Amino acid sequence: MKKRIANGFIVSVLACSLGMISILAWAGPDFQQKQLYQNIRDAEMKMKETEAAKGAERQKLLAQHLKMMKDVMDKMKAMKPKPGMTMQEHEEWIDEHQKLMESIFGQMMKEHHMLMDMNKPMNGR
């Protein structure tokens, strides 16, 4: 009897564990979104390099950052939720997509401010 109860308990724990693994597999960013997060982190590193640079080097790095951001935006425009998602999965996908957009917007604002600072006259006008 004890063996039967123990086996039932083990089967229950195993079933719950598998259920949690499948839930966790769907939670969070999907593969494309993870790639975009990496691309955004790479662009953020490029922005930090740009902020530290001066003159022509800064302009070159800024152009590279702008291209990186354009590539990310193009990928974002092409992304679509997977067919057959549940409503919850779809909402999670949209939440991750929104986080990506906010991150991109933040970097583009930094880029804009940097461009504005570069275009200010040196004599303080």
Residue 105 is which amino acid? F
Instruction: Give Cα 76 to chain centroid, integer Å.
Output: 10
Cβ contacts of residue 32 below 8 Å, gap of 6+?
75, 79
Residue 102 is encoded by which pair of tokens?
Answer: 């906010």
Mean pLDDT score, 76-82: 90
What angle separates helix 87-118 from helix 31-52, to the nearest 10 degrees? Answer: 10
Q: What is the pLDDT of residues 16-75, one digit of tens each?
A: 444 444 343 445 788 889 999 999 999 999 999 998 999 899 999 999 999 999 999 999
Whether the model clears a pTM of 0.85, i.e. scores above it, the answer is no
CB 28 within 8 A of CB 92: yes
Is residue 78 over pLDDT 70?
yes
Dihedral sign for Cα atoms in the order 77, 79, 81, 84? positive
Q: What is the mean pLDDT of the chain?
A: 81
8-22, 23-37, 74-88, 94-108 — which is least confidently predicted? 8-22
